[in-house]
């Protein structure tokens, strides 16, 4: 019997409501206090697990943003798992689904656009028996770029997840200077899981 985790394990670790309150209090000049929701959705169930994600500044919790879909598949050539990102054709239609997950009942693949360069290879570190850390890094020689509000946007993606924590390395990249402009510029956003979904 393999000691490696399954799709169900990574889905359990990634699903939940998260907050980086402790980090924001200790380093307020660099980190905003964010709430993040990652909810399982019944899409692409034939070969993967899929999560809806969005986040909000705790001071404006009723104005969530960065709605996205992450689809995890198993056993790629480059890694144990692959995380593929999708964007919504109409992001505002799904705003608030992190809290009001009933909105996701109407979600279909036709409402999404795959983001070909926005994928991560995910490998596993075994911490103890049945305890893991999932480490997601960009696939070499790829760039996550897409059009949003008439502009070309580039994002550098990455995360680490344990059973109770989620570290986000996501940051915006200036296409001309190649420098980070927002997000995890000085290190990851360190979220603690508040609730398991």
pLDDT in tens, 93-142: 999 999 999 999 999 999 999 998 999 999 999 999 999 999 999 999 99
Which class would CATH give 7-140+158-168+188-192? mainly beta
The alpha carbon dihedral of 15, 110, 94, 97 has a sign of: negative
What percent of the chain is predicted at pLDDT more than 90?
Answer: 83
The residue with tokens 């670790």 is: 13
Q: What is the pLDDT of residue 152?
A: 87
Q: What is the pTM of this model?
A: 0.92
Is 181's pLDDT higher than 70? yes
User: What's the token pair of residue 27?
Assistant: 């380093």
- When the pLDDT of each residue in the chain is averaged and rounded to a whole number, the result is 93
Count Cβ atoms below 10 Å from residue 117 Cβ, excluding itself.
16
Q: What is the pLDDT of residue 83?
A: 97
What percent of the chain is predicted at pLDDT more than 70?
Answer: 97
Is 179's pLDDT higher than 60? yes
Domain positions in the chain:
7-140+158-168+188-192
Q: What is the pLDDT of residue 147?
A: 82
Is 32's pLDDT higher than 80? yes
For the segment 151-171, the average pLDDT, to the nearest whole number, is 95
Q: How far apart are CA 132 and CA 161, in angstroms?
A: 8
pLDDT in tens, 56-87: 999 999 999 999 999 999 976 778 999 999 99
pLDDT band with cut points at 50, 70 and 90 for residue 4: low
How does strand 144-148 pair with strand 165-168? unpaired
């Amino acid at each position: 019997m393999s000691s490696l985790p399954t799709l169900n394990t990574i889905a359990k670790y990634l699903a939940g409501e998260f907050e980086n309150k402790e980090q924001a209090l200790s380093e307020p000049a660099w980190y905003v206090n964010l709430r993040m929701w990652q909810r399982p959705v019944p899409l692409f169930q034939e070969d993967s697990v899929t999560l809806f994600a969005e986040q909000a500044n705790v001071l404006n919790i009723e104005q969530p943003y960065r709605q996205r879909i992450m689809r995890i598949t198993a056993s790629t050539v480059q890694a144990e798992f692959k995380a593929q990102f999708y964007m919504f054709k109409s992001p505002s239609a799904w705003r608030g689904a992190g809290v009001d997950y009933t909105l996701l009942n109407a979600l279909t693949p036709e409402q999404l656009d795959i983001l070909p360069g926005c994928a991560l290879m995910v490998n596993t570190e075994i911490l103890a028996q049945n305890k893991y850390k999932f480490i997601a890094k960009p696939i070499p020689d790829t760039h996550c770029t897409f059009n949003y509000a008439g502009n070309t946007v580039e994002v550098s993606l990455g995360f680490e997840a344990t059973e109770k924590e989620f570290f986000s390395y996501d940051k915006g990249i200036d296409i001309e200077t190649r420098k980070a402009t927002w997000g995890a510029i000085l290190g990851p956003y360190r979220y603690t899981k508040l609730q398991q979904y």
